[in-house]
Amino acid sequence: MTGRKTLMSKIEIEHVSFCYVDNKEKFGALKQIDLSIEEGEFVCLLGPSGCGKSTLLSLLEGLNQASEGSVRIDGKEVKGPGADRAVVFQHYSLFPWLTAKDNVIFGIKQCKRKYTGTQREKLARTYLENVGLGQAADKYPAQMSGGMQQRVAIARALAMEADILLMDEPFGAVDPKLRLELQELISRISKEEGKTVVFVTHDLDEALLLASRIVVMEPGRIRADLPVTFPSPRKRENLVGNEEYQNIHRELISLFYERVAREIGNEEVFL
């Protein structure tokens, strides 16, 4: 399925295919993907494990190159990682020998080389405050919980002040309560700062809580591209009784489980 496209798209993915090669055997991970993302959109790539979500994100990061087609940001071909993109992974990816503050400063150095040491430290502390870790600036990763470490990783990404934020299941390794807090945090901050966000998840409710668009993927291709129009930032407790939320939720469940339902010969079992 072809995603929406405008002349002002921040990200343009056109006719993209990607193959992994293992022992000279080729595996098609993506097949003729078309997708456009406008500036300021929060797009969730939703789908089961192995459907190509993280592969597509890796093309946006510049870590992999498309086998066919093109990936462009602001009209320029993506040929490698760039300072216009910040990335948050599922696992914290912090340097254990650096404090929380110095982990954030490391990210700032990659994109703000003209900043003085004082400017970098001030910016790092500001973003640690933004994620609720102002008092933990001098702690090392081993002294912090998993949730705190992920907040540092988010602060580092945000402190780079990149136009685009790429997030690969960033809350998958934290407990449910903290996951909700981090979801609300990134929803609020991304909106306040006008980020363009591409967020990989297999959690339907997470996508509905965060996204302005949900791109549903199945192995190698896009199954559907759905707008989510109710206001954000959102709170889960306010969504449950929302009729639009319920309608989109039902549609996503139908898309997600359609194939399974067909295989067992009862298409209504999951609807």
pLDDT attached to residue 166: 95
- For residues 267 and 229, give the distance between their C-alpha atoms in angstroms, rounded to a whole number: 28
In which band, very low, low, confident or very high, does the pLDDT at 7 lie, cut at 50, 70 and 90?
Answer: low
Domain count of the fold of the chain: 1
Tell me, yes or no, whether 27 lies in a domain.
Answer: yes
**pTM of the complete model:** 0.86
**For position 269, what pLDDT does the model report?**
39
Q: 193-208 burial, b if ≥16 CB within 10 A, otherwise e?
A: eebbbbbbbbbbebbb
Which segment, 17-26, 29-38, 80-89, is predicted with the most confidence on average? 29-38
Tell me if 43 is assigned to some domain: yes
pLDDT for 21 beyond 90 = no
- Residue pair 169/186 in contact (Cβ under 8 Å)? The answer is no
Window from 16-25, 90-99, 118-127, 147-156 with minimum mean pLDDT? 16-25
Q: What is the CATH number of the domain that holds 148?
A: 3.40.50.300
Please measure the distance between the N-terminal and C-terminal CA atoms of the chain and give it in whole angstroms: 22
- The verdict on residue 40 lying in a domain is yes
Tens-place pLDDT, residues 64-86: 999 999 999 999 999 998 889 99
Rounded-to-integer distance, Cα 152 and Cα 141, Å: 9
Identify the pLDDT of residue 85. Answer: 92
Q: Tens digit of pLDDT for each residue in 176-185?
A: 887 888 888 8
User: How far is Cα 203 from Cα 231, in angstroms, rounded to an integer?
Assistant: 20
Residue 2 falls within a domain, yes or no?
Answer: no
Q: Residue 168 pLDDT more than 80?
A: yes
Band (218; pLDDT cuts 50, 70, 90): confident
Q: How far apart are CA 160 and CA 141, in angstroms?
A: 20
**Site of tokens 């994100």:** 57
Indicate whether 1 belongs to any domain.
no
Q: By percentage, how much of the chain surpasses pLDDT 90?
A: 48
Residue 262: inside a domain: no
The answer to whether the CB of 174 falls within 8 A of the CB of 17 is no
pLDDT in tens, 201-212: 988 889 999 999
Residue 108 placed within a domain: yes
Residue 259 lies in a domain: no
Q: Residue 220's domain spans which residues?
A: 9-238
Residue 265, pLDDT > 90, answer no
Q: How confident is the model at residue 267 (pLDDT cuts 50, 70, 90)?
A: very low
Helix (H, G, I), strand (E, B), or coil: what is residue 22? strand
Beta carbons of 196 and 164 less than 8 angstroms apart: yes
Distance between alpha carbon 241 and the CA centroid of its chain, in Å? 26
Evaluate if residue 45 carries a pLDDT over 50: yes
Q: How confident is the model at residue 260 (pLDDT cuts 50, 70, 90)?
A: low
